[in-house]
Structure 1
Amino acid sequence: MPQESSHRVVVIVDTGSNPFELGCATEVFGLHRPELGGHLYDFRLCAPDPRTPMRDGFFTLTGVADLAIADTADTLIVPNRPDVDTPRHPAVLDAVRRAHTRGARLVGFCSGAFTLAEAGVLDGRRATAHWQWADTFRSRFPAVRLEPDVLFVDDGDILTSAGSAAALDLGLHLVRRDHGAQIASAVSRRLVFAAHRDGGQRQFVERPVPRLRDESLAPLLAWAQRHLDTTLTVATLADRAAVSPATLHRRFQAQLGTTPLAWLTGERVTLACRLIELGETRFDVIARRTGLGTAANLRALMRRQTGLTPSAYRRRFGPAQVSPAPAR
């Protein structure tokens, strides 16, 4: 289990900020987690003013630190608000620029991309924002490479997410980057939230709500997760669900925003990461136990999904001082 972390996550709250995204940041980064050894992060809130009215004046935030603490952040989460036309607080933009200059990681949830762009740190960089503001964002910040259809964008030291719920996806992605798949899965279980939705997944725009209760994919997904080491195909899943492959595709798109094959691949890579974190060093064994087949396929898919090869992932997230087992 991880020790208490010294990595400081600071959230700047400004006038009109959304309470939901603030809650997401607090839930993912700020809570004490005794089952995981304590706090995963040193979490702080700050604001440019002593009293900060939140979105639509629902409540006023008081009693948090001033902006000086933003200069101590390893990860700085910038303000977001539904009013994207009013310029951000100049002191907030200065704090964002200073953080970027000294190499802190910057995070924008939802309309937080506007704050980052106003600060001038997104020029020439990839980013996303809620789909409803895509045209406005492009017209105001043409130098930013906006990707409006995805859940979140990880551009290294600057990360942005789309709509409100995507803040949880990006938050869990950061936990996964910092602490590995097993810890991220534990946090997601506490949240009762999907452990991993790939950042490239499309935003949910005008999706119909399924009408029939028995169309839920939950039982099928749970069954598939228990059988990842077997030969699972789209046809296998469709047969298990007693529907046609075409119907299964429609249900996956409607309920998860992805395809059955993409979901299976993501689950298998997640399991592979967990096995590496637990100390398994034989990549051929990992490939068999996750249903990925071969070590070559494991390497290719892990690199595509996580940005790391299995060896690089083991060096970063595996148990300390584990030597590779002899090849069989």
Structure 2
Amino acid sequence: MYQQQRNKNEDFLRKSNAISTVSLFILFLVYIILSEFKFSVYTVIIMVVITAINIILFTYFKYKIHIGYKEENINIMDYVSSDLSWRYLIYLSLFFVGMVLVENFVLIIREYSYMIVLNAFIFFIWALSLNNPMVTLLIKKSVQLKDIFIVHEVSELSLEMGIETPSIYILNTGNRIANAFEINSREAYVFITSYLMNILDYNEIIAVLAHELSHIKLKHNRKTALINFGVYIIVINVAALGFVFNIGILLALSPFFFISLIVFLFLIIPAIKRRNEVAADLNAVRYVKKEYLESALIKISNIENIPENVMKSLSLDHPATSKRIEIIEKSKS
């Protein structure tokens, strides 16, 4: 039953990501095609109309996927008000329309317009990752933690770690998904699923929250996003320079750059995240007892079926639980 639900959630994410990717591709393609035509009011109108249709279809299909998988009776207007992703698509659309206008009056911008748009697009994705649009939706599906003892412990831990106390929310997942995570955007948030709250005891909950606070203290999300941004900028710009200015050596190396990008996304980034998990564990056990975090990790691993095989876990962002416990045991708390 749990595995079926997990597969369903993964399928939901795949379809949502596919819709987002197609919409962004259409937006970028429309800009490239229309920027080749002679500038006129009609060019701008056509681009505005096509992007408006794109945004409407994007929102509609995301809504249909949402109600199909989440089994919620939510009308489309409520969904639109809670899901902010369509707004970011509008911001990017306005930028593209602005580029069509500007590049027709400034020649140097027209010469480098593709490079400017490409870099702006990468920056947009990076900014989106820092200001996570899912926060509003997650908060709507959660209740703020009210347990005065846990709230007090979190405040004390935050003070000891030298960070601002984040808002703690319990994400309602029923009898499935044992997980906790932090989102460090403009403000810090920690979400812990209702199922995880039910299966852990008090000390284990505090240990898990100490782990999430450690991610905030060590700025893991922001550092990973910055690394992503830097690699995208370097790899894609070097490859794009080869195509735009017909530089032979760069054209020859373009396949290598894109293969490197794929390796980075599917192997290097997960490895960085696994390292971050270990670092958060080690920081957490400076403030809570090792055995509490270890017992929590074992319970989560048993439910989430985290692979112990090293080869199977290469693309995962969490290390094998036995490895994490081994490292915790060797640490000085």
Q: What's the TM-score bracket when you normalise by the shorter of the two chains?
A: under 0.3
- TM-score, length-scaled by structure 2: 0.24
| Structure with the greater alpha carbon radius of gyration | 2
Tell me which protein shows more strand as a share of its residues: 1
Higher relative contact order (CA 8 A, sep 6+): 2
Tell me which protein shows more helix as a share of its residues: 2
- TM-score, length-scaled by structure 1: 0.24
